[in-house]
């Protein structure tokens, strides 16, 4: 399925319960909306042209700009506002959405031990 966007087109390549893959054609001097995904990570792999991926980091007050060329990739983690944009040339990229895996999810207030009773 091909979908038109103000910045170009996106074509679905793969859909499954755990991964979504799209082919992006991004017009010159174009950008997508500044947005966030609550639960999905977002991988961008550039096929042709150049693509900037702009991310508002959560861990510190910084806007991170990653410049990508053909064969280069980056990941935007859930909860980070981000957008992509092109320069004077168009770009083609693969975009992959995947859920953030459950990993270490514990914050300890003490070390535990034997009870006082």
**93-112 pLDDT, tens digit each:** 999 999 876 666 666 667 77
**CATH code for position 74:** 2.60.120.10
Which tens digits make up the pLDDT trace of 17-41? Answer: 999 999 999 999 999 999 999 889 9
Q: What is the 3-state secondary structure (H, E, C) of 6-56?
A: CCEEEEEEEECCCCEEEEEEECCCCECCCECCCCEEEEEEEEECCEEEEEE
Does a structural domain hold residue 107? Answer: no
> Is 105 inside any structural domain?
no
Please state the domain count of the chain: 1
Give residue 73's domain range.
2-99
Q: Is residue 83 part of a domain?
A: yes
Q: Does residue 106 form part of some domain?
A: no
């Amino acid at each position: 399925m091909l979908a038109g966007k103000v910045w170009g087109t996106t074509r679905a390549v793969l859909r499954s319960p755990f991964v979504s893959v799209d082919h992006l054609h991004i017009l010159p001097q174009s950008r997508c909306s500044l947005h966030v995904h609550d639960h999905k990570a977002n991988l961008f792999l550039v096929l042709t042209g150049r693509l900037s991926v702009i991310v508002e980091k959560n861990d510190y007050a910084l806007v991170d700009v990653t410049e990508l060329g053909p064969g280069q990739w980056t990941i935007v983690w859930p909860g980070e506002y981000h957008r992509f944009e092109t320069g004077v040339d168009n770009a083609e990229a693969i975009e992959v959405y995947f859920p953030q895996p459950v990993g270490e999810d514990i914050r300890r207030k003490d070390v535990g031990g034997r009870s006082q009773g």
